[in-house]
Chain A
Amino acid sequence: MFGYTFQWNQALARLPKMLDGAVVTMEVAVLSMLIGIAFAILLTLLRLSGSRPLRAIATGWVEIARNTPALFQIYMAHFGVASFGIHFSPFVSLLIGITFNNAGYLAENFRGALKAIPDTQTRAGRSLGMSQLQAFRYIILPQMLRISFLPMTNQMVWAVLMTSLGVTVGMNSDLYGVTQDLNALTFRTFELFAIAGVIFYIITKAITLSARLIAARLFRY
């Protein structure tokens, strides 16, 4: 059929290398999520703070992260900062780019979640003698993370998909980078990228499924 010979064996022989790449992809995604959540909480606090410049910085971060392509953000983290004489490795650039993006989107999710938590709860905490930060830490934050659990899993899936952009800054150890290198060696473009696609599909499904299981366990009332 088609006058093209599929050679799946050649591509499948490279599967172990691609799985190694998938591990790196997961590393980047998980790290970017963890750091991203930390920054998103910080951004949320800044946006709640009384200081106008701090609020402006946080809002600027969120709007830039949400209104420019992720690819642009990764370019900025790699080629942009190089203008200042700072040279990151592709891994670090990719991580910074995705983390910046994650933090922006998550901060916006957190803001939505905060709207669902009545203001009176903070005031109740304050009148029990908690400091502003304690009230946030012990009363608001747990509820905020719980409400935005679903958006966070979506963001995690996005983070995994975004790792494929690392190849543009010379990353070659993640799943997409490994596949691209193997493609240059063997020229089985369709077979290799089809396998990479299947691996990506399995990863994202595994994330959504395990998130559902975790949610079912954590959020029982």
Chain B
Amino acid sequence: MFDTALTTADLIFLAKGAGMTILVTAISVAIGTALGIAFGVIRVQFGAALTAPLTFVLDIFRSVPLLIQLVLANAFLGMVLKLQLSGFFVACMVLSLYTSAYCAEIVRGGIDAVPATTRRAARSLGMSWGQDMRYIVMPLATRVALPSWIGLALGVMKDSALVYVVQVTELLKSTQILITRLQEPLFLLMIGGAFYFLISFPLARFGGYLEKRWSND
């Protein structure tokens, strides 16, 4: 078990895969969060009835396997619209929308957690809607939403392992490629798994800590 055919070049190959995982995650979480905040605010602001179509579309992203979303987006953009897009672009696009669907729920929960009386007090002090959002809702909602958001970001990182279907070689795919060549599945999978674990575990702990620290009781 301690003899391995793994070379430095292979390790660099794995590191590139890890870099791709982080890159895809970072882009998707950044865009997805921005969209998610917008969707969340829209949903709260315009009420359930008016935003039912938006809710429905976002719900689809949470009810259909990510693998199918990626294949569908790839087939639609590539075969139907005949656009020449890289797998990387498709992966980031789908993952961003996927993230935004979950983020919208988190944002909505955060805004709902701000007491209506507090917001009315702000408005009756003469604050505009924007000021109320900026100075009252945002700080209070962030406390509720941030721990879940950290969980979401980590979830997206783990789900980014699926972008291999659109020909993006991220960490798990590069592990898989090395396994096919070196035939040392256990050892290689442990390296790949350890990478995810080492990023995810401390951040998840930090999220749990924030949740405990910021809870109202």
Contact = CB atoms under 8 A, between A and B. Distances in A.
Interface of A: 2-4, 63-64, 66-72, 75-76, 79-84, 157, 161-162, 164-165, 167, 176, 189-190, 193-194, 196-197, 200-201, 204-205
Interface of B: 60, 63-69, 71-72, 75-76, 79-82, 154, 158-159, 161-162, 172, 176, 179, 184-187, 189, 192-193, 196-197, 200-201, 204
B63 A70 contact: no
Nearest to A71: B161
A157 B179 CA distance: 31
A76 to B, nearest CB: 6
From A68, A165, A167, residue with most partner B Cβ within 10 Å: A68
B204 A75 contact: no
B158 A70 contact: yes
A164 B204 contact: no
Contacts of A201: 60, 63-64
A76 B75 contact: no
A219 to B, nearest CB: 22
Contacts of B196: 67-69, 72
A165 B70 CA distance: 13
Given A4-B80, A189-B75, 13 more contacts: A2-B80, A2-B81, A4-B79, A67-B158, A68-B200, A69-B161, A72-B161, A81-B186, A83-B184, A83-B187, A193-B68, A197-B65, A197-B68
B16 to A, nearest CB: 18
A93 to B, nearest CB: 12
B204 A66 contact: yes
A6 B52 CA distance: 28
B192 to A, nearest CB: 6
Given A69-B159, A71-B161, A64 B197 contact: yes
Contact of A176 (B65, B79, B159, B179): B65
B79 A189 contact: yes
Given A79-B185, A80-B186, A67 B65 contact: no
Contacts of B204: 66-67
A76 B188 CA distance: 10
A66 B154 CA distance: 10
5 closest A-B pairs by CB: A164-B65, A79-B185, A67-B200, A83-B186, A69-B161
A6 to B, nearest CB: 8
A82 B159 CA distance: 24
B63 A80 contact: no
B65 A194 contact: no
Contacts of B69: 197
Contacts of B72: 190, 193-194, 197
A69 B204 CA distance: 14
A39 to B, nearest CB: 20
From A4, A79, A82, A204, residue with most partner B Cβ within 10 Å: A79
A164 B67 contact: yes
Contacts of A83: 184-187
Contacts of A80: 185-186, 189
A196 B197 CA distance: 32
A77 to B, nearest CB: 10
Given A69-B158, A69-B172, A79-B185, A190 B201 contact: no
Nearest to A79: B185
A165 B165 CA distance: 11
